[in-house]
Chain A
Amino acid sequence: MKIDKNTINKIARLSRIKLDDKESEDYIKDLNSILDWVEQLNEVNTENVEPLSNISSSILPKREDVSNDTNSSEEILENAPDKLEGFFAVPKVVE
Chain B
Amino acid sequence: MNNLIKGEKHDWEMVIGLEIHAQVKSNSKLFSSSSTKFGSSPNSQVSLVDAAMPGMLPVINKYCVEQAVKTGVGLNAKINNYSVFDRKNYFYADLPQGYQISQYKYPIVGEGKVTIDFKDGTSKDIRIVRLHLEQDAGKSLHDQNPSKTYVDLNRSGVALMEIVSEPDIRTPDEAGMYISKIRSILMYLDTCDGNMQEGSLRADVNISVRKPGDEYGTRCEIKNLNSIKFIKQAINYEAKRQIEILESGGSIEQNTMLFNTSTGKTRPMRNKEEAHDYRYFPDPDLLPLKISKEEIGKIKSSIPELPDELKNKFIETYKLSNYDASVLTAEKQTSDYFNETINSDSELKNHAKIVVNWITSELFSLLNKNNQDLINSPVSPENLGQLIKLISTNEISGKIAKDVLEEMFSSGKTARKIVDEKGLQQVTDQGEIAKVIDEVIAENPKMVEQYLAGKDKLLGFFVGQAMKLTKGKANPKMLNDILKQKLNKKN
Chain A residues in the interface with B (C-beta under 8 A):
10, 13-14, 16, 53-54, 56, 58-69, 71-73, 76-77, 82, 84-95
Contacts and interface: CB of A to CB of B under 8 A. Distances in A.
B270 A90 contact: no
Contact of B279 (A14, A58, A94, A95): A14
A57 B126 CA distance: 38
6 contacts: A13-B274, A60-B287, A60-B290, A64-B62, A65-B28, A65-B62
A92 to B, nearest CB: 5
Interface in B117-175: 140-142, 145-153
Interface string B188-223: 000000000000000000000000000000000000
A92 B149 contact: yes
B44 A91 contact: no
Interface stretch (B35-43, B335-343, B369-377, B397-405): B35-43
Contacts of A90: 93, 148-151
Majority secondary structure of chain A interface residues (helix, strand, loop or mixed): loop
Contacts of B46: 72-73, 76
B28 A73 contact: no
B43 A77 contact: yes
A53 B282 contact: yes
A61 B287 CA distance: 8
Interface string B279-304: 10010101111100000000000000
Interface residues of B, number: 52
A86 B43 contact: yes
B33 interface: yes
Contacts of A14: 89, 277, 279
A59 B27 CA distance: 24
A11 to B, nearest CB: 9
B45 interface: yes
Given A67-B33, A77-B43, A89 B150 contact: yes
Contact of A92 (B28, B43, B146, B153): B146
A66 B287 contact: no
A13 B44 CA distance: 33
Which of A56, A60, A84, A90 counts the most chain B CB atoms within 10 A?
A60
B65 interface: yes
Contacts of B463: none
B84 interface: yes
Contacts of B269: 95
Contact of A89 (B28, B148, B279): B148
Given A59-B290, A62-B59, A86 B44 contact: yes
A54 B84 CA distance: 10
A86 B35 contact: no
Given A90-B149, A91-B149, A93-B92, A63 B35 contact: no
Given A67-B27, A67-B34, A72-B46, A56 B148 contact: no
B36 A67 contact: yes
Nearest to A72: B46
A87 B43 contact: yes
Contacts of A56: 287
A72 B43 contact: yes
A55 B43 CA distance: 36
Nearest to A94: B142
